[in-house]
Amino acid sequence: MIISADKIFTGDKWLTDHRIVIENGTITSVENTSSNLSIEKNNFPDCFIAPAFIDIQIYGAYDKLFAVFPEPATLKLMHQYCIAGGAVLHLPTVATNTKEVFIKATDAVREYWNQNGQGVFGLHLEGPWLNKEKRGAHVAELIHAPTVSEVSKLLNYGKGVIKMITIAPEVCSPEIIKLLKSYDIIISAGHSNASFEEAVYAFDHHVDAVTHLFNAMSPLHHREPGMVGAVFAHKKIMASIIADGYHVDFSAIRIAKEIMKERLFVITDAVTETTEGFYKHSLNTDRYECNGTLSGSAINMHQSFLNLVQNAGIETGEALRMCGLYPAQVLRCDKRYGKIAPGYAAQFLVYNKELQLVDVIL
């Protein structure tokens, strides 16, 4: 099959007069339109094609919070929500909760995969090994420093399913962090009151990323730069940010982008209405609150992309990378996702000139 449009954004650059050749779900070539090929062609005039998005932090969709309904049916709904926003992969996320909920969430992902469910890359646990002082909407009673036994049991049970864990590095010993790395867990620092020095040490010793920059972390202060200052100063650490305009002002997103360049990427942090469990999210206009605390967004990845371009002043190609290529790099799947090139998954977004999402090609 051949797909073409007025322009193609490969993840690296913009191309005109090119087309994408696909075989068995994989891109075989990106060729100049002067090439003579006899395969059926799908053309999108007045549009551009871009790599599909990835959301590495989403909690539920369509009135089904995954922590409350840890079932394959919930994961299917979450996948549908993500696809509607252009995200072909996502990490269903469970905030600080009981061990039983983590186990049920792990079982649900395995069962979903066994049913050939699509779109779920793995499980993201946000907590419970966080700092209570920066808990945000997380349940204080369940937050604690981990033991080796606790971590070992959870990781053994969740091996192959749990892909990412958000921790406060100052409450986790070096032994714990090394244990997490031994299971190939992507470690993200968040809900943390770490000092600048503690954060830099963590970034230099096994911590891979930072969860929702600015939110629930020690702020940048001129006498104590905190975790935000450490993120800005570091050369390699990547950080997610929530681009809904409530969690972070759009001007702050623009400032962070100027400093961090390709180290900043987007998550939705999307939740859904629920009256059960620890997190009773209720919709307040166009964001969610739990017990009066901002607790999650009401946007998808497409809306995140639009906000980056239209409200944060970020160039279209770079905004696309923040939603696709950079999350793929964090998940270490950027040899398959985040670009349009031979060997990559044939999963694309079609946008028109008004930045409306015309089609999601799977």
pLDDT, one tens digit per residue, over 259-280 is 999 999 999 999 999 999 999 9
Q: What CATH number did the domain enclosing 350 receive?
A: 2.30.40.10
- Domain CATH code at residue 62: 3.20.20.140
Asked if residue 242 is part of any domain, the answer here is yes
Kindly state the average pLDDT of the residues 226-241: 98
Residue 7 lies in a domain: yes
Both 347 and 257 in a single domain? no
Of 269, 286, 334, 359, the active-site residue reads: 269
Average pLDDT over residues 239-252: 98
Residues 25 and 82 both lie in one domain: no
The whole-angstrom separation of Cα 203 and Cα 173 is: 14
Q: What is the pLDDT of residue 232?
A: 98
Q: Confirm whether 239 is domain-assigned.
A: yes
Task: State the pLDDT at residue 18.
Answer: 93
Going by pLDDT thresholds of 50, 70 and 90, the confidence category of residue 33 is confident
Do 268 and 300 lie in a common domain? yes
Residue 250: how many other CB atoms lie within 10 Å:
17
Residue found under tokens 């180290």: 263
**Same-domain check for residues 43 and 61:** no
Domain with 183, as residue range(s), is 53-330
Q: Are residues 8 and 24 in the same domain?
A: yes
- The dihedral built from the CA positions of residue 139, 142, 147 and 151, taken in this order, carries a sign that is negative
The Cβ of residue 306 has, within 10 Å, a number of other Cβ atoms equal to 16
Q: Are residues 315 and 350 in the same domain?
A: no
Tell me whether residue 336 is in a domain. no
pLDDT of residue 306: 98
- Do 152 and 288 belong together in one domain? yes
Secondary element (H or E) of residue 285 = none
* 8 A C-beta contact, residue 250 and residue 311: yes
- Per-residue pLDDT, 251: 98
Residue 42's pLDDT is: 86
Asked if residue 337 is part of any domain, the answer here is: no
Instruction: Read off the pLDDT of residues 155-169 as tens digits, 9 standing for 90 and up.
Output: 999 999 999 999 999
**Residue 266 resides in a domain:** yes
| 40 & 67 share domain | no
Do the beta carbons of residue 96 and residue 152 sit within 8 Å? no
The answer to the question of residue 335 being in a domain is: no
Distances (CA, A) of 143 to 130, 131, 206: 6, 7, 22
Same domain, 155 and 214: yes
Question: Tokens at residue 197, please?
Answer: 């020095």
Kindly indicate the confidence band of residue 40, based on its pLDDT and cuts at 50, 70 and 90.
low
Residue-wise burial string across 152-171, b where 16 or more C-beta atoms lie within 10 A, e elsewhere? eebbeebeebbbbbbbbbbb
pLDDT tens string 99-157: 999 999 999 999 999 999 999 999 999 999 999 999 999 999 999 999 999 999 999 99
Taken in order 174, 176, 179, 181, the sign of the CA dihedral is negative
Instruction: Name the residue among 58, 49, 108 with its Cα closest to residue 316.
Output: 49
Residue-level pLDDT at 37 = 53
Amino acid at 171: V
Q: Is 6 among the residues known to form the active site?
A: no
pLDDT score, position 291: 86
Domain co-membership, 66 together with 39: no
Residue percentage of the chain with pLDDT more than 70: 98
The mean of the pLDDT values for the chain is 96
Q: In 213-315, which ranges are continuous DSSP H helix?
A: 226-233, 250-260, 301-310
- 57 and 46 in a single domain? The answer is no
Sheet holding 264-267, edge to edge: 53-58, 87-95, 123-126, 162-167, 186-189, 209-210, 238-242, 264-267
> Are residues 187 and 40 both part of a single domain?
no
Least confident of 50-59, 228-237, 289-298: 289-298
Mean pLDDT on 241-254: 98
Please state the domain count of the chain: 2
> Do the domain assignments include residue 317?
yes
